[in-house]
Structure formats: C-alpha cells, structure tokens
Amino acid sequence: MYNRNPQSKQEKNSEELANKYMPAGNLGNMSSKFEQGFIVSHGKGSKIYDLSGNEYIDYLIGSGPMILGHANQAVVEAVQTQMEKGSTFFLNNESIIELAEEVCSAVPCAEMIRFTTSGTDATFQCLRVARAYTGKDKILKFEGGYHGSHDYALMSQVPTLNKEFPQPQPDSAGIPKVIAETVLIAPYNDIETTESIIKKEKDNIAAVIVEPVQRIISPAEGFLKQLRELTLKYDIPLIFDEVVTGFRLSYGGAQEYFGVVPDLASFGKIVGGGFPLAAVAGKKEIMEHYDGALHQGNSIPQTGTLNGNPIAAVAGLATLKQLKDPAAYSKLHETGIKLKKALADSMQQYEIEAQITGDNTVFDIVFTNKEIKNYRDLATGNSALLSKFNNLMLNQGILKPGNKLYMSLALTDEDIDRTINAFSYSASKLRD
C-alpha cells in the first residue's frame, strides 16, 4: 500500500504564492484540481516528485513530450553541450537545419518545414498558410477537436450546447464575433455529415483540420481515408494536427500509422524533446508561401524570437534518435495494450460501466455505457466519477491526468505492476 505524505509547509506556501500571483492559482493547463495540493519539485525517468516528498509514476509526462521520461541522459547531455555554444541566435543554425531534415525525412507529407514555439502557433500557421494558398477564408474543424488556444481553435472545442452543424460555439470570452463566421463545425467520424457541409461550402473552405486521433477518440475504420478522398475531390487542403500524434503512434506520425497523407501537418511536444518547439510542415507548393521572394503580395511573414531555437533542436534530435530504435514503438504499444486491458478488467471486476478509449500510446477511461465515436458521446461520461478515480490513483502514487494517459519508454515492469494494482484498488473504492 502506498502511503502518501501529507502536504508539507513548503508545498502549502508555494500553493499560497500560486494563488496570490497566478489566475486560478495555476498555469491554465489543468482545470481540475486534486483534493490535496500538488506542486512539482522535480522529475526523473518515469517519476515526478512533489514538494512534500511524494513520488508518482507519471502518465502526464508534460502532456506528452517526455516520451523518453524526465531528464533523459542523452537529452540532458545534448542540451548541456549546446548551452556552452549559445542558447539562441535568431538565425539559421546547424542543429535546427539537421532537425528540419530529420522531420522531412520521417513524415510523409513534409516536403518543407517552418519552425515555431508552440502547438497553438503551429496549428494557427497551418490555417494561415492554407488561406494564403487557396485565397479562401473558412475553416472546417471537428466538434471537440483541440488545436490549441487561438481564436479559430477555440470554436466548439468544449461546446456546452448541441448546436446544429455546422454552427460553431465560441469556447472563450474575448473572441471577435466575426471569427465564428469563418469556422464550420462537423462531427468527428461522420463522413456523411462532413461531406454535406463541404459540398455546400466548397467554394469558401480554405482547409479542413483534424486530429487523426481526436483527443482520446480513435478514427472509425476508413474515416481518415474517406476524409482525404473528400478533400481531394473538392480541392481543399487537408491538415493533420499531429502535435500529439507526431512521433508517438509511429516515427512518421499518424499519417504513416494510418496510411493517410495530408497536405499540411502541425507538430509539437515530442519533436522538441521537452523544450518549446513546434512546426508546420507540408507540401512545397503550399509552404513556399512563407517565401516572400516567390509570392510577393501573397506571402506570410512569420517571425519569432525563439523560432528554431538550437537548444530545443538538439533536445528534439536526441529524442528522435532514440525513437528510431525499432523496439521503441513496439514497447510503447505493448505497454499501452497491457494497461488498457488491466483498466478495463478492473472496471468489469467491480461492475462499473466504463469505456477505455483512444490509441495504445495515449488513452483514457470514460465512465459511460455509450460507445465513444465523437465528442457528444464523450460528453456523456460521468466527470465526477472520473475526478474521484483520478484522486484515488494519485493517492496510490499514480499521476493519472484528467483526460489522457500517455505512455512513455521510461516505464518499468515495476511501474506497470504498481499501476495495475492501483487500477484495481481505485475501482474497488469508486462505489464508496
């Protein structure tokens, strides 16, 4: 049995400072709070540690980027070496060019690449370059799809109203009303409704953007292939948001894994090895709109102080080098398969209605008896029960985030056994 330490004075003080100086007392990244305060001290391998001295097996892993675990030796050494050479240049540098070559070699759609610093900016850049290329304004996205926090992304990401498709619902205050006029919403995994919207708006749509695996909802058989055929039929660029799936499902990302090649893709998380780095990559004829000399009057200026940062580049290269090991993805998928089965078995043992949904490498539990095909199915989940389960897991020394368990290569057999035992114990307490 794991005995979690009570909150220390140091952790309480840090929590008070966070509440004093930070809105809602947090970074904005996790809206649901655990019952006991939780401030990270450090991380190593598959574990993170809080200021009260508690150790947790980490299935958040920085929201995905730490696929090798925390403070991976090769990544740390690469960063330390680069630090001695300089931390940023605002210019082309050897490491970022090497990373550009590696990504373009690995990813099917990537003929050219432009770097930025966040997944939000990467998806925003995808939309902007698609508009420049097509000369059109509207974007079609899928209800519940997460593409960061820019104005276009924050449309029907977590809608509270079941609006008729394709009407969007803004998810945030501060978004100009005119933005809603340029965003169309379709239901994920529903190709018929999607086609009806595209057919009606084909002359106005600049791009269709989709998460190949939408949060924890896997694509239905043939959905991505049909979406690709549909966008080709109407000559509309298809964007894969691979900020999560890039270099996670396979080395070539979701497009290699599912065998469907988009026109553009956004990347982040793993590609920066835990540092602020992201990218938009795609077909040369589209990406060349970043070149003002080639597209005078129809080009995209894109400047960023830390774009192509060499420290992030070497961290990304050191991470990708390890992912090239043929055994890496086998281990990730095998770990996920084992944990998904154990989680499902625990719920079945205690007769708790739940669905385990998502990819082997990133998934979660939804407390519902409904099959999860789209956002509205996902919204039927019992959020109070999920919160209780997450707190039970945390008190067993397992950091299970609110909406995803990310697999990492740092997980050991002992970690997996501890997690499976925690699944069973937590399931047994859900009815208490």
What CATH code is carried by the domain that includes residue 144?
3.40.640.10
Task: Supply the pLDDT for residue 1.
Answer: 63
Residues 406 and 386 occupy one common structural domain = yes
Residues 340 and 287 occupy one common structural domain = no
Q: What 8-state DSSP symbol labels residue 401?
A: -
Residues 102 and 159 occupy one common structural domain = yes
Q: What is the mean pLDDT of residues 120-137?
A: 97
Q: What CA–CA distance (Å, rounded) separates 208 from 191?
A: 13
Task: Supply the pLDDT for residue 29.
Answer: 84
Task: Supply the pLDDT for residue 32.
Answer: 53
For the chain, percent of residues with pLDDT exceeding 70 = 99
The answer to whether the beta carbons of residues 16 and 25 sit under 8 Å apart is no
Residues 132 and 44 occupy one common structural domain = no
Q: What is the mean pLDDT of residues 218-236?
A: 98
Task: Please tell me the total count of domains within the chain.
Answer: 2
146 counts as catalytic: yes
Where does the pLDDT of residue 219 fall: very low under 50, low under 70, confident under 90, or very high at 90 and above? very high
Q: What is the CATH number of the domain that holds 408?
A: 3.90.1150.10
Please write the tens of the pLDDT for every residue from 232-281. Answer: 999 999 999 999 999 999 999 999 999 999 999 999 999 999 999 999 99
Q: What CA–CA distance (Å, rounded) separates 116 from 67?
A: 20
Give the lowest-confidence range in 3-17, 60-74, 118-132, 189-203: 3-17
Q: What CA–CA distance (Å, rounded) separates 179 from 94?
A: 39
Give the lowest-confidence range in 32-46, 185-199, 323-337: 32-46
Q: What CA–CA distance (Å, rounded) separates 233 from 216?
A: 28
Residue 68 lies in a domain: no
Q: Among 268, 295, 323, where does a domain finish?
A: 323
Q: What CA–CA distance (Å, rounded) separates 117 from 432?
A: 45
Q: What is the mean pLDDT of residues 353-377?
A: 97
Residues 127 and 47 occupy one common structural domain = no
The answer to whether the beta carbons of residues 374 and 411 sit under 8 Å apart is no
pTM exceeding 0.85: yes
Q: What is the mean pLDDT of residues 164-175?
A: 96
β-sheet with 112-116: strand ranges across: 112-116, 278-282, 264-267, 238-241, 205-210, 138-142, 183-186
Where does the pLDDT of residue 37 fall: very low under 50, low under 70, confident under 90, or very high at 90 and above? confident
Where does the pLDDT of residue 25 fall: very low under 50, low under 70, confident under 90, or very high at 90 and above? confident
Of 50, 58, 121, 241, catalytic:
241
Task: Supply the pLDDT for residue 346.
Answer: 98
Q: What CA–CA distance (Å, rounded) separates 209 from 311?
A: 30
Residue 202 lies in a domain: yes
Where does the pLDDT of residue 36 fall: very low under 50, low under 70, confident under 90, or very high at 90 and above? confident
- Asked if omega into 166 is within 30° of 0 (cis), the reply is yes
Residue 240 lies in a domain: yes
The answer to whether the beta carbons of residues 206 and 139 sit under 8 Å apart is yes
Residue 33 lies in a domain: yes
The pLDDT of residue 31 is above 60: no
Task: Supply the pLDDT for residue 377.
Answer: 96
Residues 122 and 253 occupy one common structural domain = yes
Token pair belonging to 217: 């909802």
Residue 31, helix vs strand vs coil: coil
Cα 339 to Cα 319, 332, 361, 422, 423, distances in angstroms? 24, 11, 10, 11, 9
Residue 28 lies in a domain: yes
Residue 93, helix vs strand vs coil: coil
Residues 291 and 350 occupy one common structural domain = no
Q: What CA–CA distance (Å, rounded) separates 406 from 409?
A: 10
Question: Can you list the alpha helix ranges (DSSP code H) found in 135-222?
Answer: 177-180, 191-201
Residue 274, helix vs strand vs coil: coil
Residue 1 lies in a domain: no
What residues make up the domain containing 244?
Answer: 73-323
Residue 422 lies in a domain: yes
Where does the pLDDT of residue 432 fall: very low under 50, low under 70, confident under 90, or very high at 90 and above? confident
Residues 40 and 148 occupy one common structural domain = no
Token pair belonging to 292: 């003002």
Residues 248 and 146 occupy one common structural domain = yes
Q: What is the mean pLDDT of residues 325-354?
A: 97
Of 47, 141, 269, 373, catalytic:
269
Task: Supply the pLDDT for residue 3.
Answer: 83
Q: What is the mean pLDDT of residues 379-395?
A: 95
Residues 146 and 276 occupy one common structural domain = yes
Q: What 8-state DSSP symbol labels residue 291?
A: -
Of 56, 59, 133, 146, catalytic:
146
Token pair belonging to 186: 């379709």
For the chain, percent of residues with pLDDT exceeding 90 = 90
The pLDDT of residue 401 is above 90: no
Residues 413 and 293 occupy one common structural domain = no
Cα radius of gyration (the chain): 22
Q: Among 267, 293, 323, where does a domain finish?
A: 323
Residues 258 and 390 occupy one common structural domain = no
Q: Among 323, 348, 369, where does a domain finish?
A: 323
